[in-house]
Structure 1
Amino acid sequence: MKATKTPIHAVTTWLRRQPPKMKVFLAVLSGIVALLFLRMVVHDHDNLFVAAEFVHALGISLLIYKFAQEKTCAGLSLKSQELTAMFLAVRLYCSFVMEYDIHTLLDTATLGTNLWVIYMMRFKLNSSYMNNKDNLAIYYVVIPCFVLSLLIHPTTRHHTVNRILWAFCVYLEAVSVLPQLWVMQNTKIVEPFTAHYVFALGVSRFLSCAHWVLQVLDTRGRLLTALGYGLWPSTVLVSEIVQTFFILADFCYYYVKSLVGGQLVIRLPSGVICSFLLLRILLYNITISPSLLGLLVDV
């Protein structure tokens, strides 16, 4: 006698059988539906950005709880935490000199907890740090972001250095999670607290992306002009979309799937990091062999 399939299991099975183009279409459609829902429910879309920063801080709080309860930092990327501290510090500086508001206070609190996480990983819990898995060279992330910020930055009336730093923190934030995804892909198994933390990052990035998109729609494009002219406004939106839908979307899918299935530990297939590899190819012009290209297409 066959076991009765639940509706959720039937839907996930159907999704798994769909071709890649259909999966991309469904992901885009889901994102549009979610944006429309937020537009109807949230009247002041500035609150979405505040919510994004709050969820990010909540994710870091989960790491603090993990350290306190389990006395281990296994599965976490120290490099990703250092990149997070870097873009938060730069954004905090820009916030102080360009627009002091509630985001400044939230970033200060988030940076403080993030620095504490780095301290614990480096000194108190160093024996459990998976250094051999956290082997993505950090300059692969920082240098392209800095070069891009020199080429494309706001054209506002602020000092040139401040405008470049503003662009740098936007670009760095968009890719700061890549070392963490690299570690998870190397280990293949993600324990609960790390999974909760990365999912919180995914939710945070979606809320931030929704904030920018809805603000552009509400102002009928005038917000883009307020941010400056040239390539900068569109680059900001692309950075948000890349991080939300191309870097974190895969993991969030497997997180929800595991949660619905009652699993506390997430097992990642090799294809989750595919989007990251494609991004590296685009950013750094890496020459790849036909066999690797075939692997990326297959997954």
Structure 2
Amino acid sequence: MSKTKSPIFSVTSWIRRQPPKMKVVLAVLSGMAALLFLRMVVEDHNNLFVAAEAVHVLGTCVLIYKLTKEKTCAGLSLKSQELTALFLAVRLYCSVVMEYDIHTILDTATLVSTLWIIYMIRFNLRSTYMEDKDNFKIQYVVIPCAVLSLFVHPATSHILFNRICWAFCVYLEAISVLPQLRLMQNIQIIEPFTAHYVFALGVARFLSAAHWVIQLFDTKGLLLTALGYGLWPCLVLLSEIVQTFILADFCYYYVKSILGGQLVVRLPVDVV
């Protein structure tokens, strides 16, 4: 007698059989449902942004556990960690000179832990680093972000240098995970702790994007005016959405693997 298939298995199998356009529609509908749910259950929507940064901190803690307990950095992109440290350092500077609040504390914690991860990969665990697989050219993202920030940045009362730095860290954060995704595409089989970390980034990015989208609807578009004028408000929202979509595909395979009881995440060749 054949085993009865679980509802979750049936649903995932049905989704897998759908054409790409239908999968996109389902993903959009799922995202809208999640946004509606968050809008209903979260009273202060500013807490979503704090939660996003807290999840990022939690993700780095997972990596620290991996590096200290398993003594290996296999599957981790040093370049992604360096880009993360760069945008966090710039954002921390902006936070200190422009606002100084709970975000400053969270950014400090994340930056310190990220720098520790970089140190472990570069020195203590260098022999396990997959340098040949971590082949993304970071200048292809740093230079365009720097150039774009010179021309499109917030129009606030702060000095020009600080406004350019603010824009740079927003743009760089949106694509800082690309080297990690490229490395995972190259190896295709992702061990649990690295998968947990990248999934945490996906959750953090979704919460951050949800914060901006919900605020936009709640203010009936006035949020765009509050952020400034010109292309800057649109690029802020676009950066948040881009981050979410960059990680959405991986998160799908992560959830699929977890529901299937697999300890590792297996990625198709063209997932990134």
Alignment TM class, shorter chain as reference: over 0.9
The CA distance in 2 between the partners of 1:270 and 1:3, in whole Å, is 31
1:249 aligned onto 2:248: yes
Offset of 1:162 from its aligned partner?
A: 1.0
* Runs of at least 5 residues in structure 2 that lack an aligned partner in the other structure: none
Matches within 5 A, 1:96-245: 96-245=96-245
Match for residue 3 of structure 1? 3
Amino acid at match of 2:180: Q
Match for residue 264 of structure 1? 263
Matches within 5 A, 1:10-29: 10-29=10-29
Offset of 1:19 from its aligned partner?
A: 1.1
Offset of 1:150 from its aligned partner?
A: 1.4
The CA distance in 1 between the partners of 2:218 and 2:264, in whole Å, is 41
The CA distance in 2 between the partners of 1:10 and 1:143, in whole Å, is 46
Amino acid at match of 1:271: D
Amino acid at match of 1:261: G
The CA distance in 1 between the partners of 2:136 and 2:263, in whole Å, is 27
Aligned length: 272
Offset of 1:8 from its aligned partner?
A: 1.0
Q: List structure 1 runs of 4+ shifted beyond 3 angstroms.
A: none
Amino acid at match of 1:242: V
Aligned residues of 2:75 and 2:130 also touching (Cα < 8 A): yes
Match for residue 283 of structure 1? none
The CA distance in 2 between the partners of 1:256 and 1:157, in whole Å, is 44
Identity %: 75
> What secondary structure does 1:80 align onto?
helix
Q: In the TM superposition, what whole-angstrom CA distance separates every residue of 1:79-132 from its partner, at most 9, and x where no partner exists? A: 000000000000001111111111011101110111000000101111100000
Aligned residues of 2:91 and 2:169 also touching (Cα < 8 A): yes
Offset of 1:3 from its aligned partner?
A: 3.1
TM-score by length of 2: 0.98
The CA distance in 1 between the partners of 2:213 and 2:68, in whole Å, is 38
The CA distance in 2 between the partners of 1:68 and 1:61, in whole Å, is 11
Amino acid at match of 1:257: K
> What secondary structure does 1:179 align onto?
helix
* Runs of at least 5 residues in structure 1 that lack an aligned partner in the other structure: 274-299
Q: In the TM superposition, what whole-angstrom CA distance separates every residue of 1:180-220 from its partner, at most 9, and x where no partner exists? A: 00000000100000000000000000000011111112222
Match for residue 288 of structure 1? none
Match for residue 290 of structure 1? none
Pick which of 38-47 and 7-16 moved more: 7-16
> What secondary structure does 1:242 align onto?
helix
Give me the CA root mean square deviation: 0.8
Match for residue 293 of structure 1? none
Amino acid at match of 1:252: C
Match for residue 295 of structure 1? none
The CA distance in 2 between the partners of 1:98 and 1:69, in whole Å, is 39
The CA distance in 1 between the partners of 2:24 and 2:150, in whole Å, is 32
The CA distance in 2 between the partners of 1:129 and 1:9, in whole Å, is 36
The CA distance in 2 between the partners of 1:82 and 1:185, in whole Å, is 19
The CA distance in 2 between the partners of 1:222 and 1:152, in whole Å, is 20
Offset of 1:13 from its aligned partner?
A: 1.1
Aligned residues of 2:92 and 2:104 also touching (Cα < 8 A): yes
Offset of 1:159 from its aligned partner?
A: 1.0
Pick which of 170-179 and 158-167 moved more: 158-167
> What secondary structure does 1:248 align onto?
helix
The CA distance in 2 between the partners of 1:108 and 1:35, in whole Å, is 28
Aligned residues of 2:185 and 2:270 also touching (Cα < 8 A): no
Matches within 5 A, 1:41-80: 41-80=41-80
Offset of 1:57 from its aligned partner?
A: 0.3
Offset of 1:152 from its aligned partner?
A: 1.3
Pick which of 23-32 and 213-222 moved more: 213-222
Q: In the TM superposition, what whole-angstrom CA distance separates every residue of 1:207-264 from its partner, at most 9, and x where no partner exists? A: 000111111122222221111100110111111101102x100000000000000000
Pick which of 25-34 and 3-12 moved more: 3-12
